[in-house]
Homo-oligomer: A and B are copies of this chain.
Amino acid sequence: MKLVFTPEEIIAIVQPRTQRGATQQSIRGLSALGPAQTGELSFLGNAKYKAEVASTRASIVLVPAEYEGEPASDQLLLVVDNPSAGIARICARLEQELWPKPAPGIHPSAVIAPTARIAPSATVGPLCVVEDGAQIGERTHLQAQVFIGRNAEIGDDCWLMPGVIVATECVLKERVRLQPGVVVGSDGFGYDFVEGRHQKIPQVGQVIIGADVEIGANSALDRARFSKTLIGEGTKIDNLVQIAHNVIIGRHCILCSQVGIAGSSTLEDYVILGGQAGVGGHVTIRKGAKAGGRAAITAEVSAGSYVNGNPAMPYMLERRLAVLQPKLPELFRRVSGLEAEIDRLKKASAP
């Protein structure tokens, strides 16, 4: 953050029960207790770091009622019921400052097709393109250089950041947030091999993205072959993730960065996939299942289970194998040793 808050402004945001000490410093950053510098604000979120409050250089520290230490000179302690909640209030305020609500309206540099329908309360920023028949919902914000294809529907209260592309006929429900560079509705990857050449199978389906979904920078979601690629309500997808055609993702899933999901696979609700995990085609991952980073899933994963490894297996087994792997050279030696012993025993017992 580059914004500056006076101690009085911080007090107004945090509304502490009481305070101890005082500081002349304006606050220019938030930081953990250890690395905090003069002019930064910190907080005691976990009692085990209590000792760090006494040595921190932070100019303001949020502490819970049970913290009894005294401030250093030029340091202000603000006593609050829940320091983490206090930080959250400051972050929320910062968020407003960093991204103030834009004024409704269409920037004169945006290119809006005649039959596009833009809600009066929506904001269409500079150099956006909205094609014919597309709809933009109330209070939705296309920040800049966004592309909305023919007949696409963007719901209310969405935020599409710079460079986002939503292609023809795709649908976003309410409060969807797309980070910069996201592509929704690229063609599915489907070809028939005919006489030595790959002949394109038309990809004429849609992508439908549920309410409260967030998708990370430069991720790509392919349209279905002829039905729908679906992202369920509340699901959160990180950066550089690949969602192939006809994938169905349930509600409130978490897909970490660089995950790839091949065509026609299904994730039920509350599935969590670690970073760089891969899911093969036509696979189902049942409700609440979890996969570790880099897991390679090519067969059904049962509800609530936790898998890891390549190929994915139960987490505890994968951890056990990870421990045994480095002992393989020794195991080979032990087996050679046993073979030598057997030879000796056989010779000794020979008549």
Contact = CB atoms under 8 A, between A and B. Distances in A.
A132 to B, nearest CB: 10
A48 interface: no
Given A214-B200, A341-B342, A189 B147 contact: no
A289 interface: no
Contacts of A101: none
Contacts of A310: 294, 310
Contact of A183 (B125, B217, B220): B217
A204 B327 CA distance: 46
The bracket for how many chain A residues form the interface is 35 or more
Contact of A169 (B1, B30, B298, B320): B1
Given A220-B218, A324-B332, A327-B332, A258 B260 contact: yes
A202 B90 CA distance: 10
A98 B258 contact: no
Contact of A222 (B87, B205, B239, B278): B239
Interface in A279-331: 280, 293-294, 296, 298, 310-311, 313, 317, 320-322, 324-329, 331
Interface string A336-350: 001101100110110
Contacts of A198: 234, 236, 252, 254
Nearest to A169: B2
- Among A99, A206, A275, A334: residue with most chain B CB under 10 A: A275
12 contacts: A2-B151, A31-B227, A111-B127, A162-B167, A189-B238, A189-B239, A189-B257, A198-B234, A239-B242, A240-B240, A331-B332, A342-B342
